[in-house]
């Protein structure tokens, strides 16, 4: 499989360690969260397998082109609009989460809109890059930052402050019936493969995606999910962990590196995950802009030979982002994100039906 596929798959996995996913999982710790995680791994790999194999049959083509070619305009246009707004919301989740994190832990005196604007300035430049430049950026930052994040995770596992009794207590609930909210939140970490709807344009050759590739991604997803779930419990206890707004930040602040340049791991944790979060937003919102471009394109809206249509989408992105980040609070963010996650498994099952329809039309 193309190495870039692994990059945007693993970026999505790692990013969700600090989004609302752990809060939703920990909130269902007595309601079948562990069983939900195990089911989500199987379901996530199932969806990923069919996604990749569908686009393998159409190398070098994105989903907008396929929808327009094989489906009528009355079907393809609403589908593209739905996809564009789904990816828009998918990018808002890490954006709002990290804006709140910076406000709470790093710059409490800075106005929230100013923090959000600083984020948007960098992201706006990134999402307008060529797809190849986006992938190169993802590769460079991912290879630089991921080993450092893994070091912090291993540090968390090896610390004497990790209380394994809390972890054992949580495992006692393994046979509780699965919780749909926890299942949908856990399955989200496997949906980075969905970015193929645009990035498949760059994969011009058929890819190998079978048992070996599924095993690698499945093991990575399993490690991320159990780490996301069990480590905060081991450091903060089992009974009231759901009352902590940012369980992973509290966990990282329990760690120390006495021989490091910065002793408090929290600051390194926020810095490294800021880089990964930037990659996630860059990737997701680049897909958003590309899908919008496939829906609306003003041929004559030019200045000095450059079409300005993408800048209209950037303005829309700014307006939505600034409105939402000032409207929601942390509790409402978790609640709204849970609603979004709950709809994704159904949406992706519908997408698989659309893929089957497209393949049948292509073969007829």
**What value does the mean pLDDT take over residues 253-260?**
67
Q: CA 359 to CA 364: how far, in whole Å?
A: 9
What is the helix (H) or strand (E) element at residue 23, kind and residue range?
helix 21-27
CA distances from 336 to 92, 134, 141 (A): 11, 29, 30
Write down the pLDDT at residue 222.
Answer: 92
Ordered DSSP codes for 241-264:
GGG-S-HHHHHHTT-B-TTSSSSB
- pTM, two decimals, is 0.90
Does residue 199 carry a pLDDT above 70? yes
Write down the pLDDT at residue 36.
Answer: 92
Joined tokens for residue 253: 């602040």
Angular region, 32: left φ>0, alpha ψ -120 to 50, beta rest: left
Better-predicted residue by pLDDT, 30 or 211 = 30
Q: CA 43 to CA 190: how far, in whole Å?
A: 9
Assign residue 326 the CATH number of its domain. 1.20.1740.10
Look at the block and give the residue holding tokens 């509790």.
331
Q: CA 124 to CA 208: how far, in whole Å?
A: 34
**What value does the mean pLDDT take over residues 137-164?**
86
Domain count, the chain: 1
Write down the pLDDT at residue 42.
Answer: 92
Write down the pLDDT at residue 310.
Answer: 81
Residue 174: DSSP 8-state: T
Domain residues for the domain of 242 are 3-363
Q: Which of these ranges, 272-276, 302-306, 310-314, 352-356, has the smallest mean pLDDT? A: 302-306
Are residues 309 and 297 in contact, defined by beta-carbon separation less than 8 angstroms? yes
Q: Which of 25, 28, 20, 15 is nearest to 332 (CA)?
A: 20
User: SS3 of 59, please?
Assistant: coil
Are residues 241 and 52 in contact, defined by beta-carbon separation less than 8 angstroms? no
Does residue 5 carry a pLDDT above 90? no
């Amino acid at each position: 499989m193309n190495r870039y596929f692994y990059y945007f798959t693993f970026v999505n996995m790692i990013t969700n360690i600090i989004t609302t996913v752990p809060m939703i999982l920990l909130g269902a710790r007595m309601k079948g969260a562990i069983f939900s995680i195990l089911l989500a791994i199987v379901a996530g790999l199932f969806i990923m397998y069919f996604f990749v194999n569908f686009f393998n049959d159409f190398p070098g083509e994105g989903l907008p082109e396929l929808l327009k070619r094989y489906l009528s305009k009355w079907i393809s246009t609403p589908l593209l609009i739905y996809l564009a707004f789904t990816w828009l919301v998918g990018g808002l989740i890490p954006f709002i989460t990290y804006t709140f994190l910076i406000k709470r832990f790093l710059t409490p005196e800075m106005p929230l809109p100013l923090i959000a604007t600083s984020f948007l300035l960098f992201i706006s430049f990134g999402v307008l890059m060529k797809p190849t430049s986006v992938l190169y950026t993802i590769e460079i930052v991912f290879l630089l930052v991921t080993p450092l994040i893994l070091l912090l995770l291993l540090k968390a596992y090896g610390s004497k402050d990790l209380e394994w009794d809390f972890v054992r207590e949580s495992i006692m609930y393994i046979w509780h019936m699965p919780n749909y909210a926890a299942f949908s939140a856990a399955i989200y970490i496997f949906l980075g493969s969905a970015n193929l709807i645009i990035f498949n344009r760059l994969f011009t050759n058929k890819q190998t995606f079978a048992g070996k590739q599924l095993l690698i991604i499945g093991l990575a997803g399993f490690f991320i999910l159990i780490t996301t779930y069990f480590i905060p419990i081991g450091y903060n206890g089992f009974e009231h962990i759901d009352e902590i707004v940012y369980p992973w930040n509290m966990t990282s602040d329990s760690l120390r590196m006495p021989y490091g340049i910065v002793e408090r791991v929290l600051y390194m944790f926020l810095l490294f995950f800021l880089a990964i979060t930037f990659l996630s937003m860059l990737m997701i919102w680049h897909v958003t802009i590309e899908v919008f471009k496939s829906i609306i394109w003003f041929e004559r809206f030019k200045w000095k030979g450059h079409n300005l249509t993408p800048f209209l989408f950037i303005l829309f992105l700014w307006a939505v982002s600034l409105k939402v980040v000032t409207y929601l609070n942390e509790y409402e963010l978790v609640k709204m994100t849970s609603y979004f996650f709950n709809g994704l498994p159904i949406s992706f099952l519908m997408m698989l039906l659309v893929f089957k329809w497209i393949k049948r039309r292509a073969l007829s």
